[in-house]
Each structure stands twice: as C-alpha cells, then as structure tokens.
Structure 1
Amino acid sequence: MTGSQQEARAARTAPPGPPRRATLRLLKQLFTDRLALMGDNAEAYGDVVRIAIGPKAMYLVNHPDLAKHVLADNAANYHKGIGLQEARRALGDGLLTSDGETWKKQRRTIQPVFQPKRISRQAAVVAAEVDALIQRLAAHDGPVEILHEMTGLTLGVLGKTLLDAELGGYETLGHSFEAVQDQAMFEAVTLSMVPQWVPLKKQLEFRTARDDLRRIADELVEQRLANPVENGEDVLSRLIASGSEDGASRERMRDELITLLLAGHETTASTLGWAFHLIDEHPEVGERLHAEAVDVLGDRLPEHEDLRRLTYTVAVVEEVMRLYPPVWLLPRIAQADDEIGGYHVPAGSDVVVVPYTLHRHPEFWTDPERFDPGRFDPENPAGRPPRYAYIPFGAGPRFCIGNSLGVMEAVFVLAMAARDLELRKVPGKVVDPEAMLSLRVRGGLPMTVHRRERTRRAEAA
C-alpha cells in the first residue's frame, strides 16, 4: 500500500469531529466550560469523537461498550493521561498517577486496608465524625460554607479510618489540594506550553501548596515511625513496612500519602456538596430522606448494617453521582494503535472516557437531565442501564479502591443531616459545576442551617 493510500485509509477510519475552523471555539470551551466541550461534541458527532485542538487530538469515548474496551478489556494499552500527567508534579508516582508494575505493587500494598470487613469495622468511627459535624452545623446562626465543612469531615474520616492519625491540625490541606488541581488543569489546557518558572499567581500558589503537602506527608510518616502501631492495618503502617522490605525511598511513601489524601477526601466532599444542592432544589427528596432516617435510625447513630436499610438514601447518593460524578473524566493515553467503535486511534493519542456525558446518554437514561433517585430503586433492578453506562468510580483494574468507604460516609452524612437538619442555599447563590480533577461546585456553597424534629411518620399520623 502506498503512502497516499495509507493516508486515505486513515482518513476514512478517523472518527467524526468538529472542523479545524472551530479551533477558537474549542479552545474557549477548553478554558471556560470543559463539560460543554465534551457534551456538545458527543451530542453532535456520536459515541466516538475526534477533537483536534492545535497540535493535539483528543478522542472522546461515550458508549458503555467502548468505555469497557478502554477501561477493562484493553486496559493494558491505556495509561493515565491528560490532567493526571500534569498532577504528577505534586502527587509524584502515587496510586492515582502511576502505571505498570509500579501501580500494581502500590495497589497490592494498600488493597488490604480497603477490605470490606475492615471498612465495615470503621462504621462507628465514621458515624462519630458525622455526628460531630451535625452538631457543629446545628450550632451555626448564620450561613455556613458547606463545601468547607464537607472537606473537613472527609479529611477527618480519612485520617482516622485509613491512616490511624489525626488530620484536624492540618487546616491547609484543602486549600493546598485546590491549588494542585488548579495548576494541573492549567497545564493540561495550555498543553504545558507555559514554562513552570513563569511567576504567575497560579504557579506560585502551586509551589507553596506542593511544599505544604510534602511537609504534611513527611510529618505523618515521622509521627508513625516515632509511635509505631504493632501489626498496624492502616495505610501508614503498611507503607512503612513495605518500604523496609524492598528498600523503597521515603519519596515514594510521600507520593502515596499525598495521593491518598487527595483522592480520599475530594471525591466524597464533592459528592456531598452536589447532594445538598440537589436536595435543596427538590424538597420532596429531603422529606423522604428525613422520613427514612427517622424510621431506620431513630435517635441512634448509624451502623454498617443500616446501609441495607437506608435504601432511598443510597439511591439518592447514586443519583447524585450519576448527574455529577466526582471523577467526571477518565483520561488515558493509547500506548499502541487501537480500534475503538470501528475507528482508528493512533498510538500516543489522548483518549477520554467521560462519565459526565456517559451518565446522561439518552440511549441509556430516560430524561437524563432530571434528578430522579427512583432510577436506583433496588426493587426495580430491571430499570438499571448496562454496567458501563454508570461508572462513578471508574471501571476495570483501576476501579476506585475506596468506593465502599466513600459511599458509607456519604450515606451516613445524608441520613443524619436529613434527620436533624434542613440546609437551604443562600438566596441568590448560583450553582455551577467546575470541572477540575474532580467535579466540584464553583465558588463554594453557602447554606443556612435549620433544625428538624425527629418525628416518626407513624407518630405524625
């Protein structure tokens, strides 16, 4: 086959996508509205889209079968991609950014900490942390910044359940991780063409944040080395034991801790922020959550077994993650040529599976923009879409290791908050998504707190 014939064949098998003349519009969306960039092109061109911006081309994948191919069936061909590559400057080669044998070893080291039996034993710790949060919220007279409170909660839970450590003294953690996300996304959308030495405010804040995260990780390791836990099952103990066994450097331990701190708190905090927003928008959902919490919990704290009884609360969490998946983008880089949906994808291409658009695919979701927890009614399993049409925790070998802890934490928060409180957005607050490494509420979420009475439905009748 001649060179011209090969080029013609490649052109015939390339996915559809926006024309070159749309470059300026695409660049604007890349900077200002990444969700629209993905959603508009999926709607216009189908389930495999080639989006060329400047010298780079990105392949958008938006079908359950094709997501399965990239994330599971041919996962070995796809390494971590855009956004996560840039985040490596702060996270190093932690579980979120590493690949190959390094990733496999890290996963084996940490996996036992997330075993279902161990997570179930942490339910009392999670419930106590949530109870303290509810009491703090109830004591507020004026508006409270919910996202700040959720970040504090999730960091506290992470410290006690996974690290066997107190993180309450590290108040800069949340801000530092925001700076890391901002810089990683800035480098991704500018194709890393802005030198890192340029003293932009964003880059200066990133350097300060990176140093802060490294300091905190080093302090946590030093504290554990000074006070070892015999036969410790927590992440710190396992990392230290693993390092002593294979001579791994302190730097690798630091990378793992920083990654765990980010991934372990950001996704759940983001999910809870969106949950409180959606419940405020749909008061009938809040009423039903309240009734279920009163019926199931009464005046006590939740236990792990309550996850089977709080069925509506679990459905609300699942529907929140459908509309606003905390990990809205799963970026990969093709290591070798591949074929996706009948289209040629060259080696080195950026391939992105986008849960945000996949979870709104009209072929698999009825009225996909509507908030409807009934989609996840356990008594109507036939109504659920195909497995890979709903992937809030990713899929395949890199399925989120902390999903069960995150769901338990979110369910406990919503149940206990709905039982005792009603949260209302401050009038005039506009809620928009901000697509960074996670999908968060732009500019925070101020809400007012109102007490509820714990009245059972039967008593009320």
Structure 2
Amino acid sequence: MLTTISTPHYLMDQAKRRLRPTPVTLPGMGAVERRLNAKRWDEYVLASPPAGSDLKPVMGDAGLPILGHMIEIFRSGPDFVLDLYRKHGPVYHADSPALPAVLALGPDATQTVFSNRNKDYSQRAWDPVIGPFFEGGLMLLDFDEHMLHRRIMQQAFTRPRLAGYVSHIDAVASQVLANDWPANDRRFLFHPSVKELTLDIASEVFMGHPAGTDRELVTTVNRAFSVTTRAGNAIVRKPVPPLTWWRGIRARKTLESYFRARIAEKRAAQSTDMFSVLCHSRDEDGASFTDEQVIAHMIFVMMAAHDTSTSTMTTMALQLAGNPEWQERCREDSARIGDGPLDIDALESLTNYDLVINESLRMITPLPMNFRQAVRDTDLLGHFIPAGTNVVVWPSINHRLPELWTDPERFDPERFSEPRSEHKRHRYAFAPFGGGAHKCIGMAFGKLEIKTVMHRLLSRYRLELPHPGYRPVYDWGGMPVPVDGLPLVLRPL
C-alpha cells in the first residue's frame, strides 16, 4: 500500500517563518523621511539580495492596515492584479494578513514558476489557504509524492475511462434538464442550478449513485463542499466558532465521514465509478492508495470537478445569451450530431463548442490564481526570492493582456481558431488549467462534461439575458461566483 511521504523538515520550517519586509530606503532619503516611511509601511523591499549578486530586490506595499489588499482582491479579482502588473511589473510583493506573497505576473513569470525546472517551488503555499479543507488532495502534494499519486490517479482519466463516463453524464444531464429545469419562458437562476446539476453528475460518475438517489449527497454533502470551497477566503484564519474557517474544518470532517462510511463497499466490489477505480488502482510497481488517501483524493476531485465545470458553464451561458450568433453556431454543431445517445467521438466533433469553452475560460478563469512557496533562495526574472516566500501566479491576467490578445475584453471565440491562434503567442498566454507537473489532470473530463450539458441545454432552450446590457457582479473570494446567481431567460425552442 502507498504510504504518505512526510513533508521535508526544511519546508515545514520555512512555512512557519514569517518574512518581515524592510521599509524602503532610497539614496538621498533623509532621516525624517526614512522614519515616516518605516511607520507607514507603504512601500518596502522584501529582502536584500545576496551581496555581490546581480539580482534585484522585490518591492512591495502593505495595502490597508490589517486587511492588506484582501478587499480589492475580493471585489475586483484579476482587474486589481492587472493594475498592479501595469504599475509595478511582473514581480511584486503584496503584504496580507492571510497570505503575504510575491505576485508572479505575466506570461514569462507564469512559465518560470509553473515549469519549476529546478524544483524551486513547492505546493506548500496552499496550506494556509485551503490546506485544512483539502489536505492530501493531488494539487497539495509535492515532487515525487505528487508524481506517484498522479500516476495512480491517471488510471481514472484514460480515454477508455472517459468514454465510459459520457453515457452517465448524458443520462443525468438529460434527466435533470427534462424534469427539473423550467419548461416556460421565465427568469432562471443559472449558477446555483447548474452547480446542483454538476454535483448530480459527480454523484453518478464519481460515486456510482444515480442522480437524486443519494439525498445525503445532495443536501449535507453539497453544503459541505460549498462551505469548504469558500472557507479559503476567511479573514480570521483560526477555528473560532461560528466563523468561516471553523465552519470549513467542520465541513471537511463531514466529507471524511461520508466517504469513510462507503469505502469498504467500494473495496469489496469493482465498478466503473471513480471512487471504485481509485480504490483498486495500482501503478506499474503495484503501489496503491490507502483508505485515507482515497478519501482525500475523492474530496478534492469532487470539489474541483463540479466547481470548475460550474464556473465555465456559467460563463458560457452568459456569453451565449449575450452573443446569439455564437449560440446558433453551437446549436448548428449540436444539430449535426443529433439527439441520439452521445459518445466521446461525437462530443469531440463539436468544434464551435471548443472555441466557446476556451473563450469562456479566458474571460472568467475558474481558478484565477495558483499558489507556490520557494523551497530555497532563488530568482524570478532577475529578482531575489528568499526561501520560504509565498509566490502567487495569476495566469488569468495573461488572458487579458492586449499584447497577447486582440481586444481582450470582447467575447471572440474565433481568436482560438486557425490561422489567428492567439493562444499560441506565448506558451502561457492561455493557462486556465495551470501548467507543468501540476497541470489539471481532469481537464479532458471537464470539457466532455461541459459539452454534454451545454449540447443538451441548447437543444432544448434559447438563452437570453434578463435585460439588455446586463452584466453580473462577481465575488472573487475563491472561484468567481456571480453574486446574483446569474438570472437568465430559458426560452423553450
């Protein structure tokens, strides 16, 4: 059986260490000015580069007292970070009570961190963000341990496995759209409804439970997933009842209990659902997951699969409602494959859907940032990064750069087609699934799920905005969520 590899002691020591920025002292600055600057902490040097090196120091600012930049992040997300990139360049330190970190911005910084050629960056920066809620998940593992777990988990995402999932996804989507979604012309809150649908899909594909048959999954577990996902944006990051962090930890225990109660059944008999696959998978050396590792992976995969697909379909629905010509192009794709049972080959032929999915991921990236931590002293684009420094990569702002994308604020799926191929202007111009060793293992599954649901949806309904000029406001405290639930008109065809 595969056992968990302990976190190296040097990483644990660095994770506990709080780097204290140095107030900036510039040549010619007087004593009074230096004292005022030290009190304000408006701008500072993160750490002095080693003597004799050609590295530049990372500059930074503390933002608001106590809150740092949390308010701007929650309100504006990538818009605020894009503004920092324009003002300060690709490497900048933003102090924060939640996670003080160097921001690695732009495609070159993204490539340096994601490629991680010298293994300078660890996943440990996720620990203070979501660690208590998704501990043991694939995204939170490092280096050899991560690759070992990924090799075993990859067996759940082979093409034959994906082909087998399609009929289950289609059955759930068809049933829910026919029975639970409105059959008349009225406003409909799209985001919470599609979130429930994707959890129903996860229930069948990942757990082997037909949609609607496991009420505990739909009620208690669905709420627990929502609480854990949003707990990472807590300001008070201590288990103090009844605050967000405390609720997230309780929700994690709820999820553990749910999966633990069912793991013996999955071990006893093999089936095609992902829970069973993870229970029985072995790599070429015979290594397999322990019960606790299966539970940790199921909690993370269930969260990641249904939340990212929900976010992407929410953006797709919004953009297709506001761009009816693209809605018709997708509907024409759907008409070519017809209303019969779906398979992986039919879904892969929906080329207009591919363009719209990519453009939706570009405009509203479900996971707009990624977290890393420097294992050792290193450099990032010529800037000195001390060991233990948290580094936050924002691939979502690369998706908004006019130097990479033509008119980036405009919905234009053709930018992904030949010969334009704007996503190929830089290796990390488009990185909604991350990159390097930690590139999303489930991206092919996610696209199949999204195509299946949207194909069935557009075959039944015409999507319309609630009123001309409608634009949702997003909560960026985690994955982007439309505050109003995204009210759309579903007009039966």
Q: Distance in 1 between matches of 2:348 and 2:281?
A: 36
Question: For residue 349 of structure 2, what is the amino acid of its counterpart?
Answer: R
**What is the CA distance between 1:71 and its match in structure 2?**
0.8
Identify the residue that residue 216 of structure 1 maps to in structure 2: 258
* Structure 1 stretch displaced more, 305-314 or 352-361: 305-314
Q: Distance in 2 between matches of 1:343 and 1:291?
A: 51
Q: Distance in 2 between matches of 1:184 and 1:343?
A: 29
Matches within 5 A, 1:283-432: 283-294=324-335, 296-378=336-418, 380-381=420-421, 384-427=424-467, 431-432=472-473
The runs of 5 or more residues in structure 1 that have no matched partner are: 453-461
Return the structure number with greater helix share.
1
- The reply on whether 1:127 has 2:170 as its aligned counterpart is yes
Matches within 5 A, 1:33-432: 33-53=76-96, 57-74=100-117, 76-83=119-126, 85-136=128-179, 137-139=181-183, 142-166=186-210, 168=212, 169=214, 170-172=217-219, 173-186=221-234, 192=237, 195-196=238-239, 198-225=240-267, 228-229=269-270, 232=271, 234-241=273-280, 249-294=290-335, 296-378=336-418, 380-381=420-421, 384-427=424-467, 431-432=472-473
**What is the CA distance between 1:70 and its match in structure 2?**
0.8
SS at structure 1 position matched to 2:305: helix
- The reply on whether 1:435 has 2:476 as its aligned counterpart is yes
**What is the CA distance between 1:151 and its match in structure 2?**
2.0
Q: Distance in 1 between matches of 2:73 and 2:126?
A: 12
Q: How many pairs were matched up?
A: 437
The runs of 5 or more residues in structure 2 that have no matched partner are: 1-46
Q: Distance in 2 between matches of 1:310 and 1:316?
A: 10
Question: For residue 209 of structure 1, what is the amino acid of its counterpart?
Answer: A
C-alpha contact (below 8 Å) 1:293/1:419 kept by paired residues: yes
C-alpha contact (below 8 Å) 1:180/1:209 kept by paired residues: yes
C-alpha contact (below 8 Å) 1:14/1:50 kept by paired residues: no
Identity rate, percent: 23
Identify the residue that residue 23 of structure 2 maps to in structure 1: none
Q: Distance in 2 between matches of 1:126 and 1:397?
A: 28
Question: For residue 258 of structure 1, what is the amino acid of its counterpart?
Answer: I
Q: Deviations over 1:212-271 (max 9, x none)?
A: 21222123314324x512xx554323433369x769653322211111111121101111
> RMSD over aligned Cα, in angstroms?
3.0
**What is the CA distance between 1:407 and its match in structure 2?**
0.7
Q: Deviations over 1:34-87 (max 9, x none)?
A: 434312201212222222346964222223232122111437221225455432
C-alpha contact (below 8 Å) 1:83/1:184 kept by paired residues: no
Identify the residue that residue 13 of structure 1 maps to in structure 2: 56
Q: Distance in 2 between matches of 1:410 and 1:128?
A: 14
SS at structure 2 position matched to 1:272: helix
Question: For residue 193 of structure 2, what is the amino acid of its counterpart?
Answer: E
Quickly say closer, same or farther: Cα 1:430–1:319, change in 2 above 3 A: closer
Question: For residue 145 of structure 1, what is the amino acid of its counterpart?
Answer: L
C-alpha contact (below 8 Å) 2:107/2:395 kept by paired residues: no
C-alpha contact (below 8 Å) 2:415/2:422 kept by paired residues: no
Quickly say closer, same or farther: Cα 1:241–1:354, change in 2 above 3 A: same
C-alpha contact (below 8 Å) 1:116/1:404 kept by paired residues: no
Q: Distance in 1 between matches of 2:54 and 2:491?
A: 60
**What is the CA distance between 1:445 and its match in structure 2?**
2.2
Quickly say closer, same or farther: Cα 1:314–1:6, change in 2 above 3 A: closer
C-alpha contact (below 8 Å) 1:425/1:445 kept by paired residues: no
Q: Distance in 2 between matches of 1:55 and 1:383?
A: 33
- The reply on whether 1:451 has 2:483 as its aligned counterpart is no
Q: Distance in 2 between matches of 1:403 and 1:31?
A: 26
Q: Structure 2 length normalisation: TM-score?
A: 0.79
C-alpha contact (below 8 Å) 2:99/2:128 kept by paired residues: no
